Amino acid sequence: MFTIIKEDKNSSARTGVIETAHGIVQTPAYVIVGTHATVRCLPPDALLATKTQIVIANTYHLWRTLGEKKLDSFEGLHARMEWNGAIMTDSGGFQVFSLGFSREHGVGKIASIFPDEEEKKERKIQENLVRITNDGAYFNEGGVEYFLDAKTSIAIQEKLGADIILAFDECTSPLHDHAYTAEALKRTHRWAKICLDQKTKKYQKLYGIVQGGAFEDLRKESSVFIGALPFHGFAIGGSLGKSREEMARVLEWTIPYLPKEKPRHLLGIGKIEDIFSGVERGIDTFDCVIPTREARHGAIWTHNGRVDMKKNKNALPLPLEIGCMCNACETGITRKELVALFKSKDQKAGELVTIHNVFFFNTLMEELRKAINEGKFHEFKEKMLEKIRKE
């Protein structure tokens, strides 16, 4: 399934090829998010032009939206998305966190600080909608509970028909202590074995997920355990600490214990700095909503960093990015015109920036692959990060 093409001499960065039933994915690669079997603001015929190789859809949301009857007759993600490239699906494990302790704790996967009581008041604390058991998770929707476990997650993903599917896991909060994280880890490991036993579609590649929060002993334990199981690849998920530095340490605790010959995916992470940090430590693929979600909110990404067009009221009549060859920039749209489109709430604004952002991140990965193959990873990394810091 995975072939390593080139390894960097001074880091763990590498290029490779992941083979799927719907073509190859050259790595390092960015997995574009299409939560509900569509990449928002990006028509199917425009996806290929953005250099996209692979997209990821959301198992939990599709399960709840389609329902059991529609799932049984579902045409498959490729047909629904009108996309013949590779597709990945998550397992629903992230929703165990996002609808559960993320709401209760008022934090994301990375907490900048451990909050005190006063800070808790300032954060948005909401009702926890998930009840976790050793068998699976109960999701509360309007007073009605829906149960999702490892067996069901695999069954749903097989019906969705993605090329790469993920094992069901419990994504923990950065505010969970060692004791709770260790307890959740046992569940994740138990569910991983069930996922392997339940998988029936040979063309689908199943990734195991490493958990353990920001605790070194638990990350190593999980890497050794999951890495020894016959998964086709591995994803690193869960809480990644309190900072970018802690996330880097989590990767350093994890990756050395995973089989070198299999691909590694970093779940839900995708800022430019994090891409370089991850690739340098041996990550092959990333998924994140940054290119698409931020586009809809007016942020464009360039080789000089991020620009918020909604706040850039005095934008000049300049291209979104000089030299960019994306379909949006090829229209000749200027930053000044884009600001006007956002101000008038024209949906064309979100479409244009989505095209540009997705193209930008995919181009960045293309440049990154080229740099690694030519033995210039460090130089490319330093040059790119210096530009971003100046901006």
Eight-state DSSP code of residue 266:
E
Residues 272, 277, 282: CA angle, nearest 5 degrees? 125
The beta strand positions in the chain, using DSSP E, are 2-7, 14-20, 23-27, 29-33, 54-57, 86-89, 130-132, 136-141, 144-149, 164-166, 205-210, 233-236, 264-266, 285-288, 299-302, 305-308
CB 256 within 8 A of CB 276: no
**Which residue bears the tokens 């095209």?**
355
Q: What are phi and psi of 299, to 5 degrees?
A: -100, 130
Query: For the CA atoms of the chain, what is the radius of gyration?
Result: 21
- Distances from the Cα of 275 to the Cαs of 11, 30, 58, 243, in angstroms? 14, 9, 22, 15
Give 43-72 as a DSSP string: -HHHHGGGT--EEEE-HHHHHHHHHHHHHH
Beta bridge partners of 20: 23
Catalytic residues, by residue number, are 90, 287
Does the CA dihedral 70-72-78-82 come out positive or negative?
A: negative
Determine if the peptide bond prior to 28 is cis (ω within 30°).
yes
Tell me the C-alpha distance between 236 and 223, whole Å. Answer: 9
Does the CA dihedral 104-61-161-295 come out positive or negative?
A: negative
